[in-house]
A and B are shown apart, each in its own frame.
Chain A
């Protein structure tokens, strides 16, 4: 079936270092969404990418959607302790508009 893989599964960084998580789908997506889940919390929507090759920025966060609409990345510049949490991508399938969540990347930031 359709799958969305995310790498890495875990990432520990020193505060101030950069961080990137990658999302890869087995099929072409209609759009992709990114969510952040703090420890003990629930996923919170960050952004949606729709167009092939789209790049969006939110302060220190940069999101990209691949040209083939099958992969995406989230890059955080100069991480802070508030960035701690698990980052999920959610691919939305073409036609059926079903959300398929990636496996998530758990980020730990060491002060």
Chain B
């Protein structure tokens, strides 16, 4: 079974630009969660999608948004990038809700200059 894939793996953007990151979950998994990982803040939960609906949301500004498609693939968008958005963005897929283990993708390393 193929694992979770994320594209692109690396990205460099300028302040003020926007970015879209993509995540393809493991086949059969319907839940996709997004996390921001930085050295200082650890793993911060962004949001979770299940069957195309946002089920949970973390404490991030509205510049961070996401969606999930009917094939469970998910995208995350960050508008008006700030320097502080530089981080590793991880997506994780699971079969269902918070009672299932999460499988993480390799992440997208975003650098904002």
Bound CA span A101–B45, Å = 8
Q: Mark A57-100, 1 if CB is under 8 A from B, else 0.
A: 00000000000000000000000000000001010110011111
Bound CA span A67–B106, Å = 35
Q: Is A45 an interface residue (CB 8 A)?
A: yes
Q: Which residues of B contact A41 (CB under 8 A)?
A: 106
Look across to chain B and name the residue whose beta carbon is closest to the beta carbon of A33. Answer: B101
B98–A93 contact, CB under 8 A?
yes
Q: Is A52 an interface residue (CB 8 A)?
A: no
Q: Mark B66-83, 1 if CB is under 8 A from A, else 0.
A: 000000000000000000
Bound CA span A65–B45, Å = 22
The one of B44, B45, B106, B107 in contact with A98, judged by C-beta atoms closer than 8 angstroms, is B45
A103–B104 contact, CB under 8 A?
no
Which of chain B's residues 60-113 have a Cβ closer than 8 Å to chain A?
90, 92, 97-99, 101-107
A-B contact count (CB 8 A): 60
Number of interface residues of A (CB under 8 A): 25
Q: Which residues of A contact B33 (CB under 8 A)?
A: 99
Pick 13 A–B contacts, CB within 8 A, sort by A: A30-B98, A41-B106, A42-B104, A42-B105, A50-B99, A90-B102, A92-B99, A96-B98, A97-B55, A100-B45, A101-B43, A104-B42, A104-B43
Q: Is A25 an interface residue (CB 8 A)?
A: no
Look across to chain A and name the residue whose beta carbon is closest to the beta carbon of B50. Answer: A97
- Within the complex, the shortest CB–CB distance from A72 to chain B, in Å, comes to 15
B56–A45 contact, CB under 8 A?
no
B105–A98 contact, CB under 8 A?
no
Bound CA span A97–B99, Å = 7
- Within the complex, the shortest CB–CB distance from A9 to chain B, in Å, comes to 10
Which of chain A's residues 12-37 have a Cβ closer than 8 Å to chain B?
30-31, 33, 35
Q: Which residues of B contact A50 (CB under 8 A)?
A: 99
A101–B42 contact, CB under 8 A?
yes
Q: Which residues of B contact A104 (CB under 8 A)?
A: 42-43
